[in-house]
Amino acid sequence: MSDRLQALNAALNGYVWGWPMIILLMGTGLILTILTGVVQFRRLAFALSEVLGRITRRGGGQGDVRPFQAVATALASTVGVGNIAGVATAIALGGPGSVFWLWVSGILGMATKYAEIVVALHYRERDGSGTMRGGAMYVLRNGLGWPWLGGVFAALTALAGFGIGNMVQANSVADALRATLDVPTWATGIALVILTALVILGGIKSISRVTEWLVPFMALFYLFGAMIVLVRCADQLPQAFRLIFDGAFSGSAAAGGFAGSTVMMALRYGIARGLFSNEAGLGSAPMVHCAADTDHPVRQGMYGIFEVFVDTLVICTATALVILTTGIWSSGSTGAALTAKAFEIGLPGTFGSVVVTGGLLLFAYSTLLGWSYYGETGIVYLLGAKAAKPYRIAWLVFVYLGATGSLHLVWDIADTLNGLMAIPNLIGLLASIPLLLRLQREFFSKARS
């Protein structure tokens, strides 16, 4: 049964992540970059000041959580296993050139996520329990009059959450603890269920209170370890960048090339893992940003630019450079094991394994929290506010199943659901471009005056 499911998923994945998806994702990001006036570069300083200057302040509008709590929860969902295992997998399968395409995906993704959030906030509404809800499903229904497509997106969100945001994360934690500390997977599963339940059963306010402290700590902890490696291996940085650019355009690594190091594979895995990590184009982050207390959609959209910048251009890049500067990238290892070996080479004593294992645990746990709200929003759209609590219980069940299941199959299914979820979101986003541009002109006209 498992073999048949894996074969079916592999066939579907080939279509979902073929050239049509690459063109749709990159093309959407490029169109939005041009039409918004390269907003991710022109407004990056404004975005950074907006986020870092308002950490403890409310936004002066309707919403259930502070703007920073919203971006922290979104980062909790995006900064996950993809930043550690996903980047390593891209390099192992697509070569160092995949890092370049991951950067391109991130740069264009900054405009995509900004646009997603702006449009979604315009159409947000309160559900039957009074919780502020929003996302692509509400854009498709309320803005474009396509409730059936909104239902498709909501269903994909509720289902995809169990893969990308739940089972993949739980499985990675269980695998890491089993390999490093010989902890049985069932024990890890039970512990994760308890720790997750303590937070998600309280809803978005409980989740955001935890993530606003957890996310900065875990990001700084991981980056501190990476910076030590890069300082110690600073003489290898020029060679690392040569590998990246050579692999991106010539399709062969400086060492002579290995199986899989082609331009197409570098591009495919770089973009796929870029989306898996930062979720730009996926339509997930707007769901939690719609809960933010903010006075204008564009103001909250700035948080989307910041979000992708931190996730892809900072954390993913740090992982990639650690792997390349330590020279371990072509060893045959992949996933979290490759990243762990790189940190063990680059850091003294056992500090390397502590950084990777600790980072993996924190990243995965934070993703479990953030994605539970995304899936819950999907099911609430479909079945109403009363479905929120049953979904949270089901979420906890799948945490345990993920911890004790097969990593390879879970990862592959999550990758497929990831791509499927992006399709209705991008359709709705492209159809909402006139609204996006009107809101952008309105906001910055007021800001100038």
Q: Model confidence over 27-75: pLDDT tens digits?
A: 999 999 999 999 999 999 988 888 887 776 665 667 778 888 888 888 8
Neighbours of 12 (CB within 10 A): 16
pLDDT at residue 428, rounded to an integer? 94
Backbone angles phi, psi at 133, to 5 degrees: -125, 150
pTM: 0.90
Amino acid residing at 291: A
Under-50 pLDDT residues of the chain: 253-260
| CATH architecture under which domain 2-448 falls | Orthogonal Bundle (1.10)
pLDDT at residue 417, rounded to an integer? 77
| 37: CB partners within 8 A, 6+ apart | none
With beta carbons less than 8 A apart as the criterion, state whether 140 and 153 touch.
Answer: yes
What are 389-400's pLDDT values in tens digits? 999 999 999 999
With beta carbons less than 8 A apart as the criterion, state whether 98 and 245 touch.
Answer: no
Reading the block at residue 382, the tokens are 């479909």
pLDDT at residue 278, rounded to an integer? 84
DSSP 319: H
Reading the block at residue 180, the tokens are 């490093």
pLDDT at residue 246, rounded to an integer? 87
pLDDT at residue 255, rounded to an integer? 41
Neighbours of 430 (CB within 10 A): 15
Helix (H) or strand (E) holding 133: strand 132-133
Angle between helices 335-346 and 203-232 in degrees, nearest 10: 50
